[in-house]
Every structure is written in structure tokens, then in C-alpha cells.
Chain A
């Protein structure tokens, strides 16, 4: 979570703000992150920084993949799931595997 604070602090002088009220995160369904734990850690890490007390707005991004057998894009709820159309495993993850800071509401 300190990566969020670092990214915010880096932007503060560039964008000229002194307080962050809201952090909007985009969390992929397939990435290794427990959202509740993430928010809990953020509250602790943000203490004493310009993001102290900021609220969180989390947009969950669905997992996406490519099925080689179907030659088609598919939706994936978990990395352990087979292709929902053919039941096969010839899959590559193509989206929903990242966490991004989408935007900040600042003052």
C-alpha cells in the first residue's frame, strides 16, 4: 500500500495539491489482492500523510482471457477456472490482472 502513498506524494508537487480526499483504484479480479485488507492497510500507511483519512472508491475489473481452442475472448472469474464455453484449459489471461490508481480527488 505504500506504493499508493508514493504515487500520490509524487503527484502532489507536480499537480499542486496538499490534501487527498478520495482515491479511486481499479482492482482486477485476477490479481492477488484482498480488497478489505488493502483498504485496512491503506488507513494505517496513510496516517500522517497528505492522504490521511481519504476514502476509497474501488472499481472491480472483471478477469478476461483468450481461449486458444475457441479462438475467442472469454470472461474468467478465477485463474483456476476453465473456458466457460468449451471447458478447456488452453487459456491466456488478457485482462483484469492489475491494480491501477485511476484517479484522485484532491484539494
Chain B
């Protein structure tokens, strides 16, 4: 029945109940990715931000600092060019570039294809650098273990309230470029408070990839998240050859 006026179908026509989530297909692929990565014991971090927040710079610094201890793989999403993947490869990590063309976000299907091209050994870490955009990537689960929203202090401290969905969907907020705080009117306390208004369990770390301030907290967070993933009961089930709650 029509939701506007309650009228029924015209003659010769019928109504089919679908009750289908618009993102159900994406969510199925995300489930497959999560199961695949969970089986390998590889934690995956989906990095989202606006363009220019410093995702690639943070990643290259992270790779240089930890690659001797942990192998790192990166899936790079951009509309055009493979510049970021080249920067990542030069820093010493395995990198796959996805060009979304006109698309403004990565989806789980694209990530699934990229996963097939990567060699992921147990004990490695995967970063997925999403297309720079604070809107659409919020809606697309890629099968990551954790979502990290990155906000640079040059962007303004009111972004969490302006773009609440992406901050609501994240596990961690990284405030980057804090070495520039003396030159901009960015109130860290206010930003943190607004972010917690839209997501009360959001963790926050302030850092600068240039000076290295706060990077130790970021690395500890990555390590802790990886350990939590290893101790999730469904991972044990996977290792034993079983299945868990993922739709095929």
C-alpha cells in the first residue's frame, strides 16, 4: 500500500514486499572481507578524512617507524592517479591503488578485489586509505576491524557536529598536524567534546607526523586493537575451520 495516501495497486499490477537494506549487497561483501581478514589474523584499519588531512603522510611515517617489526600492507583509494600508492611503496610497504573514477568512496566489493592482489601474512597489518570525503565513506562498511577518522587542526574544530555520521561511525579520532596549533584557532578541547557528543565511545589521540609528537600513542592503539582482534572468539572459530555470522 502507498505510504503517502494508502491507495492500493492499479489493475494488472501487484505489490512486492522487499524490506531490503539499500546497502545489503555492500554489507555482504564487507562480511566476506572481514571473515577473510579475520581468518588470516590481520587487523584492518579504514582511514577516513577530508582531502588533505594528512592520511598518506601519517601512513608513510607509520610505515617507516614500524615496518621492521610488523609487515604493513595498504589499499589506497583515490579518484585518480597512483601517487599515494607510489608514496606508500617508497616508504616500504606493499601497496595497491584503487581508482574510484567518479566514485567518492571505497566500497567493500572494490576492497575485496584489492585483497586478492595482496600477500597478507599472519602478523601483518592492513590500512585502507579511503577517498578523502567526510560524507559518503561513513555509510560503507569495508570489512575493517576498526575505523579511524582523521581531522587536521587546520580544518576547524567544529567538523564533528557538521559531519556527525562519519564521527559517529568511527572508533578513533586522530587530530593531526598539532605542530600547527600555535598558528590556528583550533580548540582541541571543544573538538574532543563535540566529537564525543556524536559518539560517546570515540577514542581521541592528538599527533603530528612531522614532529613525531603523539605517534607512540597511535602505535600503542594499533597494537592494542590488533591484540583485541586476536582474542575475539570468532577468530578462534575461524582458525578451527568453522564459520561465524557472515552472510555469503
Contact = CB atoms under 8 A, between A and B. Distances in A.
Interface of A: 3-4, 6-7, 11, 15, 17, 21-22, 24-25, 30-32, 57-59, 68, 78-80, 82, 89-93, 98-107
20 contacts: A7-B18, A15-B16, A31-B139, A57-B3, A78-B164, A79-B164, A79-B165, A79-B198, A80-B164, A80-B197, A89-B200, A93-B168, A100-B19, A100-B20, A100-B22, A101-B22, A102-B18, A105-B15, A106-B16, A107-B13
- Dominant SS among interface residues on chain B: mixed
Interface in B132-164: 135-136, 138-139, 161, 164
A7 B17 CA distance: 12
Contacts, number: 92
B109 to A, nearest CB: 11
B211 interface: no
B184 to A, nearest CB: 23
A68 B200 CA distance: 10
B12 A91 contact: no
B25 A6 contact: yes
A98 B21 CA distance: 7
Contacts of B9: 105
Contacts of A15: 16
Interface residues of B, number: 32
Nearest to A23: B18
Contacts of A11: 16, 18
A24 B15 CA distance: 10
Contacts of A4: 22
B232 interface: no
B1 to A, nearest CB: 8
Contact of A32 (B26, B136, B196): B136
Given A3-B23, A31-B139, A99-B23, 4 more contacts: A11-B16, A24-B2, A58-B3, A90-B200
Interface in B220-246: none
Given A24-B2, A82-B197, A93-B168, A3 B25 contact: yes
Given A32-B165, A103-B17, A91 B22 contact: no
B117 interface: no
A82 to B, nearest CB: 7
B124 to A, nearest CB: 32
B13 to A, nearest CB: 5
B116 interface: no
B4 interface: yes
B14 interface: yes
- Identify which of A7, A21, A79 gathers the most chain B CB atoms within 10 Å of its CB: A79
Given A21-B13, A59-B3, A80 B18 contact: no
